[in-house]
Structure 1
Amino acid sequence: MKQINAKEVETFLNEGKSLNIIDVREADEVATGMIRGAVHIPLGLVEFRMHELDKTKEYIMVCRSGGRSGRATQLLEGYGFNVINMVGGMLAWEGKVE
């Protein structure tokens, strides 16, 4: 499983890079804030909403601490998606949230 840390994601965003970020936390968790531009797809719905994703794009998966996003990463990898798990999740995130 490919991994990236929160600081790398923040640096890429600050450099203006376009990232495809999927936040797999629950609704009450994302209410506290999400990374700018992230799409909310709760972990339990990832399998049912993967038709919305493009296999030609790279996705960064995010959750609270990295565990659920790791499971989402493994699931999507199994279906041929190019995905990266953000280790440490939002607990490690020091950047702005929306």
Structure 2
Amino acid sequence: MTDLGLTVTSMMAQQKVKNISVELFGAQNTIGINYDSRLKGNSGLGYRIGIGFSYDDNSNLFDENIKGVGMPLEMNYLLGNKHNKLEIGIGTSLGFYHV
């Protein structure tokens, strides 16, 4: 699956990095909005929380139409210097889906 992200706004307040982004075909499957922040100032440890809508019209062995609302939760860590970083993390997506 392709993850296309579009950052809506990025802000710095008291040296704490916060980011709000819109995501297409990512963790929410169709479209979602996410809030990402560092836990302590500009440190590597952070979290992401979001909400999104998913839709899938599956027509292989089982003909299914899936719709739902999900909320991805993630803990992540940024490795690297000021300009280049690698994000590693673990998370889950909780939601209500209708098949």
Superposition TM-score tier, normalisation by shorter sequence: under 0.3
Compare CA radii of gyration and give the structure with the larger one.
2
TM-score using structure 2 length: 0.27
TM-score using structure 1 length: 0.27
More helix by share: 1
